Amino acid sequence: MSREGNAERIGTRMAAQIGNAAAMAGEKLDAAIGYTKERTHALKDSVHHVVDDGWTGLRENAVKLPYAPLLIGLGAGFCMGWFARRHTSASQ
């Protein structure tokens, strides 16, 4: 009789744990759906903004780019590439 009672308690605990896991999975799924909806809405707003501004707005935004950091980054990349190539080819 104790084996049957033991099995019943184990079954009850397993069912409770499965129920808790299912509830947690449902909460995580709801959170993921909410996040996806937020990102979709943000993307739609961004696309509508670009469409409303048109090519002139896109060109105006492109002109506002800071060129100094861009040129510094390109120069640094070029120097690092030259340095790496020179030192790897010198060791061969």
pLDDT by residue for the chain (92 residues), tens only, comes to 567 778 888 889 999 999 999 999 999 999 999 999 999 999 998 888 878 877 777 777 777 778 888 889 999 999 999 988 888 875 55
Distance set, CA 54 to CA 42, 63, 65, 84 (Å): 18, 15, 18, 43
Q: Encode burial over 29-44: b for 16+ CB neighbours within 10 A, e otherwise.
A: eeeeeeeeeeeeeeee
pLDDT for 39 equals: 93
Q: pTM (2 decimals)?
A: 0.45
pLDDT of residue 90: 59
